[in-house]
């Protein structure tokens, strides 16, 4: 008799282990993937079941969002369909609203619960993986809630691409010089990889697109990067951070270090150095905070609101609850100083997910748990235009080699052979043919034309979920 059967017989574990994974991002998807491999036999015998609750039926490979915004990769290829990849799990498209770990239940709303007009569905579980990731850390800057644009999801990336091209169309057709200036001014707040890469790729795309406008030249556009600290891309080190600033400035990007956005009310970006820029584009990438659903749980958290975890990725002081990724404070056992936790990035999230999956399988079988230990290997970032920076295992690269390494690294990392092949094909085609420069912003109002034809007024309401379109 194997260990689990003995434990079931002695009442130590339930006949069927119900594993609930909240979140279908890096941690959620890779943990479920690992579990469905590790627990293959248990799943076949009906001794385990894995349910993944996630608001979208896909995992987003976030490092590709800047390229999706620039149009180098189609939005559908930066996402991984969860139902296909997690074919031995139950995927529920919905959102956990709260978790009562004392009772081992999670309240989940889905599209169906909305339609039914009934309350949230209660999911009972034996093991919980809580991985809702993070949301943008929005500061109380006047006008930001009304005019700011985030850059964390594929919808935001596509929306931003359409928006930038639309601004060029406005600038090209307006008779008002002030409106033209505002349309051609693009302000990005936050000098981490999301902000720098998004600006680098979009500036590159807009510069290319300008050649097809009779009256918009690349030098008519103002691209501004605002960063509160005195450096950008801290992940690649000080020297490459300085190189990034000089490279962006060489491309006429106005990089303002030690500067904050104080207001963007009335579509005027006011900076802490006193400058004012009328603009219709403020992209906010100034940091992240743990997902607010954690407020609705009874699990222990740090002062920063993250789930307090052990190095084995269980949630401290609890049993049968696990976490990793952006929502979790996981001790960095390689740091050599107590209290240090792993940074919120994909590198840790992916590796933590593997250990987390293994540890749940170990726990179910009564085996000892593994400790998560990964020394940060460094970072790669693209600045667009065949430019990049990379710092890997202490080796520093810049320019074309770093850009190439960025692509090679992410191609090797993006999940599934299917996605790798499609992304590679798109890069090859982009090298052979001209880039796409159209905005399909009207996809956000697909019924407008028909409503007009039917004699009604076009509804201002965008449809639910205008996803994956460009
Ligand atoms: C533009 C951009 C570029 C980046 N580039 C890099 C890079 O180059 N290198 C790097 O290392 N890192 C990069 N990162 C960071 C990296 O993507 C994150 O650290 C990583 O995604 C964290 O994984 P996670 O699983 O914790 O969260 P996520 O991958 O964000 O997944 C969280 C999931 O939980 C779901 N969810 C949220 N709330 C609920 C709920 N209530 N119920 C159910 N599900 C919920 C979300 O929809 C999402 O699917 C980048 C991030 C961004 C935004």
CA distance 112 to 94: 9
> Which residue range forms the structural domain that includes residue 96?
3-136+289-365
Integer angstrom CA distances of residue 197 from 233, 322, 391: 10, 32, 16
Ligand 1 mean position, distance from CA 470 (Å): 21
Same domain? For 150 and 281 the reply is yes
CA distance 9 to 265: 66
CA distance 201 to 68: 9
CA distance 237 to 231: 9
Ligand 1 mean position, distance from CA 71 (Å): 21
195 touches ligand 1 (CB under 6 Å): no
What are the beta bridge partners of residue 136? 288
Ligand 1 mean position, distance from CA 288 (Å): 10
Residues in the chain: 470
Return the closest-CA partner of residue 324 out of 313, 335, 311.
313
Instruction: Kindly state the tokens that stand for 422.
Output: 């499609």
Q: Could you say which of 365, 387, 416 is where a domain stops? A: 365
* The predicted structure's pLDDT at residue 16: 82
Ligand 1 atom closest to the Cα of residue 28 is: 25
Closest-CA residue, ligand 1 atom 5, reads 63
Tell me if 388 sits within 8 A of 380, measured CB to CB. yes
358 touches ligand 1 (CB under 6 Å): no
Same domain? For 260 and 317 the reply is no
Q: Could you say which of 286, 301, 328 is where a domain stops? A: 286
Same domain? For 98 and 52 the reply is yes
Tell me if 224 sits within 8 A of 312, measured CB to CB. no
Residue 425 resides in a domain: no
CA distance 325 to 344: 6
Same domain? For 169 and 272 the reply is yes
Using DSSP's 3-state secondary structure scheme, residue 211 falls into helix
Same domain? For 78 and 114 the reply is yes
Instruction: Kindly state the tokens that stand for 123.
Output: 């999911």
Ligand 1 mean position, distance from CA 84 (Å): 20
Buried b (16+ CB within 10 A) or exposed e, 190-202: bbbbbbbbbbbbb
Ligand 1 atom closest to the Cα of residue 29 is: 25
384 touches ligand 1 (CB under 6 Å): no
* The predicted structure's pLDDT at residue 460: 58
Residue 465 resides in a domain: no
Put the strands of the sheet holding 378-384 in their side by side order: 378-384, 387-392, 395-398
CA distance 72 to 90: 33
Return the closest-CA partner of residue 133 out of 26, 48, 46, 211.
26
Ligand 1 mean position, distance from CA 325 (Å): 8
Residue 325 resides in a domain: yes
* The predicted structure's pLDDT at residue 442: 62
Ligand 1 atom closest to the Cα of residue 56 is: 47
Same domain? For 281 and 252 the reply is yes
CA distance 459 to 451: 8
* The predicted structure's pLDDT at residue 353: 97
Using DSSP's 3-state secondary structure scheme, residue 15 falls into coil
Residue 433 resides in a domain: no
Same domain? For 275 and 304 the reply is no
Residue 390 resides in a domain: no
* The predicted structure's pLDDT at residue 448: 73
344 touches ligand 1 (CB under 6 Å): yes
Tell me if 381 sits within 8 A of 193, measured CB to CB. yes
pLDDT string in tens for the chain (470-residue length):
455 555 555 544 556 899 999 999 999 999 999 999 999 999 999 999 999 999 999 999 999 999 999 888 888 899 999 999 999 999 999 999 999 999 999 999 998 998 888 889 999 999 999 999 999 888 899 999 999 999 999 999 999 999 999 999 999 999 999 999 999 999 999 999 899 999 999 999 999 999 999 999 999 999 999 999 999 998 888 899 999 999 999 999 999 999 999 999 999 999 999 999 999 999 999 988 999 999 999 999 999 999 999 999 999 999 999 999 999 999 999 988 888 999 888 999 999 999 999 999 999 999 999 999 988 778 889 998 788 999 887 788 999 999 999 999 999 989 889 989 999 998 888 888 777 777 666 667 777 777 777 777 666 554 444 343 33
What are the beta bridge partners of residue 283? 149, 188
Residue 302 resides in a domain: yes
Return the closest-CA partner of residue 61 out of 405, 458, 350, 435.
350
Say which CATH number the domain at 352 has: 3.50.50.60
Same domain? For 183 and 316 the reply is no
Same domain? For 193 and 307 the reply is no
CB-side neighbour CA atoms (13 Å) of 233: 30
Residue 149 resides in a domain: yes
Same domain? For 17 and 95 the reply is yes
What are the beta bridge partners of residue 59? 80
Long-range pairs, 367-370, Cβ under 8 A, ≥24: 367/3, 369/312, 369/314, 370/312
Tell me if 389 sits within 8 A of 236, measured CB to CB. yes
Integer angstrom CA distances of residue 205 from 70, 118, 201: 6, 46, 6
Phi-psi region of 146 (alpha: psi -120 to 50; beta: other; left: phi over 0): alpha
Q: Could you say which of 335, 365, 395 is where a domain stops? A: 365
155 touches ligand 1 (CB under 6 Å): no
293 touches ligand 1 (CB under 6 Å): yes
Closest-CA residue, ligand 1 atom 4, reads 63
Same domain? For 300 and 273 the reply is no
* The predicted structure's pLDDT at residue 453: 77
Instruction: Kindly state the tokens that stand for 245.
Output: 């600033």
Same domain? For 187 and 228 the reply is yes
109 touches ligand 1 (CB under 6 Å): no
Count: domains in the chain: 2
Beta strands in 313-372 (DSSP E): 321-323, 328-329
* pLDDT tens digits for range 438-458: 766 666 777 777 777 777 766
Ligand 1 mean position, distance from CA 134 (Å): 6
CA distance 130 to 21: 6
Using DSSP's 3-state secondary structure scheme, residue 16 falls into coil
Tell me if 287 sits within 8 A of 192, measured CB to CB. yes
* The predicted structure's pLDDT at residue 469: 38
């Amino acid at each position: 008799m194997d260990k689990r059967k003995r434990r079931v017989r002695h009442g130590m574990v339930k006949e069927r282990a119900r594993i609930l994974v909240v979140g279908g991002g890096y941690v959620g998807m890779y943990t479920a993937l690992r579990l469905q491999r590790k627990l293959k036999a248990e799943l076949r015998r009906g001794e385990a079941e894995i349910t993944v609750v996630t608001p979208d039926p896909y995992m987003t490979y976030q490092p590709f969002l800047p390229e999706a915004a620039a149009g180098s990769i189609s939005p559908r290829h930066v996402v991984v369909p969860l139902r296909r990849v997690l074919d031995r799990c139950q995927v529920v498209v919905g959102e956990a609203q709260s978790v009562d770990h004392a009772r081992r239940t999670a309240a989940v709303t889905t599209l169906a619960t909305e339609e039914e007009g009934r309350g949230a569905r209660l999911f009972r579980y034996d093991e919980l993986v809580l991985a809702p990731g993070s949301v943008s850390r929005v500061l109380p800057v006047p006008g930001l809630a009304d005019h700011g644009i985030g850059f964390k999801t594929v919808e935001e990336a596509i929306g931003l691409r359409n928006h930038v091209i639309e601004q060029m169309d406005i600038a090209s057709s307006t008779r008002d010089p002030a409106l033209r200036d505002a349309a051609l001014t693009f302000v990005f707040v936050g000098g981490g990889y999301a902000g720098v890469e998004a600006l680098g790729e979009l500036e590159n795309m807009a510069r290319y697109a300008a050649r097809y406008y009779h009256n918009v030249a690349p030098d008519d556009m103002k691209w501004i990067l605002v960063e509160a600290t005195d450096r950008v891309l801290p992940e690649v080190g000080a020297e490459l951070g300085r190189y990034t600033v000089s490279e962006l400035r060489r491309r006429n990007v106005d990089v303002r270090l030690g500067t904050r956005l104080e207001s963007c009310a009335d579509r005027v970006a006011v900076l802490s150095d006193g400058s004012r820029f009328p603009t219709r584009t403020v992209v906010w990438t100034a940091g992240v905070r743990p997902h607010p659903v954690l407020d609705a749980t009874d699990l222990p958290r740090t002062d920063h609101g993250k789930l307090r975890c052990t190095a084995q990725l269980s949630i401290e002081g609890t049993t049968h609850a696990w976490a990793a990724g952006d929502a979790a404070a996981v001790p960095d056992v390689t740091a050599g100083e107590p209290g240090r936790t792993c940074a919120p990035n994909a590198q840790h999230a992916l590796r933590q997910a593997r250990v987390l999956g293994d540890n749940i399988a170990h726990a179910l079988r009564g085996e000892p748990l593994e400790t998560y230990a990964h020394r940060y290997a460094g970072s790669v970032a693209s600045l667009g235009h065949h430019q990049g920076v990379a710092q890997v295992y202490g080796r520093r690269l810049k320019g074309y080699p770093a850009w190439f390494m960025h692509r090679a690294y992410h191609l090797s990392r993006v999940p599934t052979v299917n996605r790798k092949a499609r992304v590679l094909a798109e890069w090859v085609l982009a090298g052979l043919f001209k880039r796409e420069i159209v905005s399909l912003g009207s996809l956000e109002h697909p019924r407008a034309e028909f409503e007009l034809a039917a004699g009604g007024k076009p509804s201002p309401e965008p449809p639910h979920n205008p996803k994956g379109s460009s």
